[in-house]
Amino acid sequence: MLNIRIEATTAPKQKPDADNPLTFGTIFTDHMFIMDYVQGEGWIDPRIVPYGPLQMDPSAMVFHYGQELFEGLKAYRSEDGRILLFRPECNARRSNATCERICIPTIPEEDYVQAIEALVKLDGDWIPTKPGTSLYIRPFIIATDPFLGVRPSATYKFMVILSPVGAYYPEGLNPVKIWIEEEYVRSVRGGLGEAKAGANYVASLKAQMKAHDAGYSQVLWLDGVERRYIEEVGAMNIFFQIGGKVVTPGLNGSILPGITRRSCVELCKLWGYEVEERRIAADELFAAAVSGELTEVWGTGTAAVVSPVGHLRKGDEVVQIADGGIGGLTQRLYDTLTGIQLGKIEGPAGWVREVV
């Protein structure tokens, strides 16, 4: 259990106007959580302080070799005024899995969740309540040793910041257009793909710009070796409904094991759908589109929630899905998941955690 010191701000910021849409990731709350790691001492000095710039040595290793990871989850305000988190221990566990992969010391799961809860409680007034809004929580860890050699750092900072957000895509719940990338790859098995390391997102930028320039919202990555099999989208996992079955790429080491993905798999199974987590070739997808068996495509992620995909492009081939509208299963998943997150629908045991 952490003994968190709190230094409250003396200059609270103005909260965003509830009538204006919240652009994703642009506004930050009054406070942030910080805890340091020092070799030989462990994680020390957990504290919540006013949100503001960090003073760091320019030689800090994170600036040079990118030893960094992040997580993303959300806090919601229920109609009866409770603050709810969605499966935060899954983020703590995934953060520790990423720590192991990039040689950062792990944080006990209960301490990780306690840090988030303490910060969200203090800045609870920042949780927006309009439909489609929430408080995005961004925990991250950075390597801070002032050293230019390549090795794991001996010191780190674990931090949590908060941002009131609306929809991740400007399209909202309208279907997004996705570009299947054939030139660049995001990750290969044995690399960092299944870790939530910032490095994966740097690797994605070039293709993302290419897709944006062509009028597409996001990139759909193919496997890094054969460039045949569907992996995931820039900030979401991907699902298909083919011949009535729910199909999503299996966790093969180069895909992020999304918490929304896992929750959708569990919901679809509960509802009696046959769910296949397996390799799926882009060719199979296009063939299923031609035969009429591909009926729905959607992405899943904390920021993106459940996001319908209306259009896929690979080279010169284009697939239009569900007449460009949102499919029935996609809508049911969106409604159920957001209903559970907002405390309106009772979900499976342990999915929602109240901050008290």
Contact 178, 224 (CB under 8 A): no
Can you say whether the dihedral through the CA atoms of 99, 100, 101, 104 is positive or negative?
positive
Partner in contact with 300, chosen from ligand COI, ligand PLP, none, beta carbon below 5 to 8 Å by kind: ligand PLP
Q: Which of 24, 73, 71, 74 is nearest to 217 (CA)?
A: 24
Looking at beta carbons, which residue is closest to ligand COI? 72
Partner in contact with 237, chosen from ligand COI, ligand PLP, none, beta carbon below 5 to 8 Å by kind: ligand PLP
From CA 195, how far away is CA 197, in angstroms rounded? Answer: 6
Partner in contact with 295, chosen from ligand PLP, ligand COI, none, beta carbon below 5 to 8 Å by kind: none
Amino acid at 267: L
Cα angle 241-244-246, degrees, rounded to a multiple of 5: 45
**Which of 241/300 has CB closer to ligand COI?**
300
Query: Least distance (Å) from ligand PLP to the CB of residue 115?
Result: 18
Can you say whether the dihedral through the CA atoms of 73, 248, 325, 209 is positive or negative?
positive
Query: Least distance (Å) from ligand PLP to the CB of residue 300?
Result: 6
Q: Which of 269, 221, 279, 218 is nearest to 249 (CA)?
A: 279
Q: Using CB under 6 A, list all residues that contact ligand COI.
A: 72, 235, 301-303
Query: Least distance (Å) from ligand PLP to the CB of residue 353?
Result: 16
Query: Least distance (Å) from ligand PLP to the CB of residue 140?
Result: 13
From CA 197, how far away is CA 194, in angstroms rounded? Answer: 9
CA distances from 172 to 24, 149, 175, 264 (A): 11, 45, 8, 19
**Which of 72/257 has CB closer to ligand COI?**
72
Query: Least distance (Å) from ligand COI to the CB of residue 259?
Result: 9
**Which of 153/300 has CB closer to ligand PLP?**
300
Partner in contact with 256, chosen from ligand PLP, ligand COI, none, beta carbon below 5 to 8 Å by kind: ligand PLP
**Which of 234/249 has CB closer to ligand COI?**
234
**Which of 295/307 has CB closer to ligand COI?**
307
**Which of 141/289 has CB closer to ligand COI?**
141
H/E stretch holding 99: helix 88-101
Query: Least distance (Å) from ligand PLP to the CB of residue 301?
Result: 3
Q: Which of 134, 81, 83, 123 is nearest to 260 (CA)?
A: 134
Partner in contact with 261, chosen from ligand PLP, ligand COI, none, beta carbon below 5 to 8 Å by kind: ligand PLP
Contact 241, 306 (CB under 8 A): no
**Which of 302/330 has CB closer to ligand COI?**
302
Q: Using CB under 6 A, list all residues that contact ligand PLP.
A: 72, 232, 235-237, 256, 258-261, 300-302
Partner in contact with 144, chosen from ligand COI, ligand PLP, none, beta carbon below 5 to 8 Å by kind: none
Query: Least distance (Å) from ligand COI to the CB of residue 261?
Result: 11
Contact 300, 236 (CB under 8 A): yes
In the chain, count H helices and then E strands.
7, 18
